[in-house]
Structure 1
Amino acid sequence: MPSPQKIIVIGAGIIGASIAWHLQRKGASVTVVAEQTGGVATPNSFAWINASWGNPEFYFHFRRRSMREWSRLAAELPGLPLSWCGGLCWDLPETELDAYAAQHHGWGYGIQPVNRATSAMIEPNLINPPDYALHVAEEGAVEPVAAAEQLLKDAARHGAILLFGVEVNRLLKQGERIIGIETSEGEMRADHIVLAAGAGTAPLAASADIHVPLETPPGLIVHSRPAQKLLNGLVMAPELHLRQTAEGRIIAGGDFGGTDPGDNPQAAARELFAKVRATLKGGEALELDFHTIGYRPTPKDGLPILGGVDRVAGLYLAVLHSGVTLAPLVGLLAAEAIVDGTDDDQLAPLCLSRFA
């Protein structure tokens, strides 16, 4: 019986955690190396699971497929902090909402127009419910750090090694193959390296002369102190996207990715939180606890970069902005590609080679 493949996963956010978990399930010998559990971008995520927002049709179907994979993952990991709470959206002009609804409905998305009375029934604590909105009952949210931690702990129970507080300095290359990594604790060798380091992906790839065209725009998210239940699901209002977490915090951004905090993040956070309080009945009792500024790892064309690298063996890239939505599917497909040698057809448009 051959020895299991030795695989190093760089990154412990929701993507790295999912890939590590799926690799371990396939019998690989997995080591996760990261500076901190939960990663860097994941704790600053709005954590909306959806297939919305101006996707090309092939990418819509990819995201929809991953929504189904979240249900599969939740069945395999009882207690995963996942909620199919639905989303209420009216942050576009009515004509654009209509066009968006018609397109996505035609693709099979469960999207329904609703009036003011129905909006008020869906979210009774909105001070000013919209006269016209779209509701998608199948959308949801996850508590991303808790989910990543649960995936990593389960992988560790089945033999994965978790190395936190370790900085990865560069990739080790021999000829046209990546053979390991150099870390703050020394060199480590493996049969395969998975680079799921978010904003840190580009400089690490560059250490092996691989160019990853990546942008990292900042996104401001405000977090309230835990409060009584005020929201049933996701709310996408003009210039304000908000939801309530499992522990009762209202989290909000100027949009779901957060907006640029400018030169004075504290003032921007206070201004944003004032909008939150003015939007909800009972909002005057909400208290701002803290704000976060996440740097979203976004490939320059907005689509994920997933898969191996042409002419360089032993490396798998997984870098994307919609990490929460796509985590379970990316983990599954990465494990199939690395362990089984099976490349899914849906990954073809998402390879790094498209930028050549």
Structure 2
Amino acid sequence: MQIAVVGAGIVGASIAYHLARRGARVHLFDEGLAPAAGVTGKAFGWVNLINGEPTANYGNYRIWREAISEYQRLKVALPEALRHARSGSLVWHATAAETQALVQEHQAAGAAVELVDAKTVAWWEPELREVPECAAFSPDDLALDPTLLTQTFVHAAIAFGAQADFDQKIISLETSDGRITGVRTAEQAVSADVVVLATGTSIDTLISPFGLAIGVESSPAVLLQYSCDRPFLNHILRGPDLEVRQRPDHSLLSAASCRGDSEENGPVAIGHRVLDVMRRKLALPDGVELQRAVIGYRPVFADGFPRLGFLPGADGIYVAVAHPGIILAPLLGRLAMEEIIEGQRSTLVPGFSVGAFPGS
């Protein structure tokens, strides 16, 4: 089976890897110059359950929980993918009661989350100036480099025989007798039995000629990177006004919401405000400065669920859209492979049904 995968972010790269590993002939395309050129390269890189909502959205929480298990399988199948990942996060709310309720909610849902006291938090994170009374410790969380993981998926797919073309914008999807037959770039037309679209917020642009739209929305977020010359954090930390982790090269990453497009709410201004917060809450080493502030546009749906499956009314198009893609990509890659190659449809992740397209 010949399959074209459009989009070499982490979701598309995972699908390409799983398909190629299963024996499909895969051709991966991306308009960027390298893997993870879009929103994936602007992601914080936190694989976790602790930010899920087991009570408010248990269906989505089930997906996240299965996705965390998929990372354990990935460690065995592709160990180089996680060679620089670090484990564990500490999360707390404004009051001890809120933090305790968070832990109880996740424990009731079966998550391996522990409540740790202030003494433990201070012992684990001695550079934390404002130590909370207690915190949720999520030991199975991972801090990883999304770009490195995406590159690993692509390289592994190529090792299994896939072809990857970058700086290749898909102009249109080719059709014959009502069925998708491939993709067209400015330079070539490539035949395919199935076209997988993993292009995030731009998917509707590619399927609009068929009178379709899946209703994907754009949710902007800011990724901030700061220089740092020594290790001083041991976990991902998330508290009121604080979300930070340290990379293997010692630089710091933080994430923040976008509040508008004015200069005072631009990414650089946000980056400086976050740095002020970190200086207040952490004993930062000397020389920590803002290096990078970028906006990533995350693909989301109103119900909070990802989407995965063939499109009704467009025979041969398979769509994969997910936020948080970093958490879900390994799982979605396997599920997509099972459906496309083996015909096994999982009920875990919502697909598409006739009449479910706002733009049709």
The TM-score with structure 1 as length reference comes to 0.92
SS of the residue 1:53 aligns to:
coil
Q: 2:30 aligns with which of 31, 34, 37?
A: 34
Moved more, 91-100 or 153-162: 91-100
Report matched runs for 1:221-300 at 5 Å: 221-254=223-256, 258-260=257-259, 262-264=261-263, 265=266, 266-300=268-302
Report matched runs for 1:152-171 at 5 Å: 152-171=154-173
Name 1:8's counterpart in structure 2: 4
Report matched runs for 1:1-356 at 5 Å: 5-36=1-32, 37-51=35-49, 52-55=51-54, 56-81=57-82, 82-91=84-93, 93-254=95-256, 258-260=257-259, 262-264=261-263, 265=266, 266-347=268-349, 350-353=350-353, 355=356
What is the rounded CA distance, in whole Å, between the counterparts of 1:137 and 1:240 in structure 2?
A: 19
Q: Which amino acid aligns with 1:19?
A: I
Structure 1 residue runs without a partner (length 5+): none
SS of the residue 2:210 aligns to:
coil
Displacement of 1:92:
5.2
Displacement of 1:153:
0.9
SS of the residue 2:326 aligns to:
helix
Structure 2 residue runs without a partner (length 5+): none
Does the 8 A contact of 1:173 with 1:208 survive in 2?
A: no
Displacement of 1:95:
4.1
Displacement of 1:240:
2.0
Displacement of 1:84:
4.6
SS of the residue 1:86 aligns to:
strand
Displacement of 1:116:
1.3
What is the rounded CA distance, in whole Å, between the counterparts of 2:275 and 2:181 in structure 1?
A: 48
Does the 8 A contact of 1:223 with 1:290 survive in 2?
A: yes
What is the rounded CA distance, in whole Å, between the counterparts of 1:168 and 1:83 in structure 2?
A: 33
Change (3 A) 1:278 1:209: same
Displacement of 1:74:
2.1
Q: Which amino acid aligns with 2:3?
A: I
Does the 8 A contact of 1:101 with 1:112 survive in 2?
A: yes
Does the 8 A contact of 2:173 with 2:184 survive in 1?
A: yes
Residues 203-249 of structure 1: per-residue CA shift (max 9 Å, x gap) = 11223322111111211121012431121111111122111112221
What is the rounded CA distance, in whole Å, between the counterparts of 1:87 and 1:332 in structure 2?
A: 26
What is the rounded CA distance, in whole Å, between the counterparts of 2:75 and 2:272 in structure 1?
A: 36
Displacement of 1:313:
2.0
Moved more, 40-49 or 52-61: 52-61
Does the 8 A contact of 2:230 with 2:285 survive in 1?
A: no
Does the 8 A contact of 2:235 with 2:245 survive in 1?
A: yes
Residues 61-110 of structure 1: per-residue CA shift (max 9 Å, x gap) = 22111112112112222322353521111135544433332222111101
Displacement of 1:44:
0.5
Question: How many percent identity over aligned positions?
Answer: 29
Residues 227-285 of structure 1: per-residue CA shift (max 9 Å, x gap) = 3112111111112211111222100023xxx4336412222221122222332213443
Does the 8 A contact of 1:89 with 1:237 survive in 2?
A: yes
What is the rounded CA distance, in whole Å, between the counterparts of 2:273 and 2:135 in structure 1?
A: 25
Displacement of 1:175:
4.3
Does the 8 A contact of 1:243 with 1:250 survive in 2?
A: yes
Q: Supply the RMSD in Å over aligned alpha carbons.
A: 1.9
What is the rounded CA distance, in whole Å, between the counterparts of 2:276 and 2:171 in structure 1?
A: 42
Does the 8 A contact of 1:11 with 1:39 survive in 2?
A: no
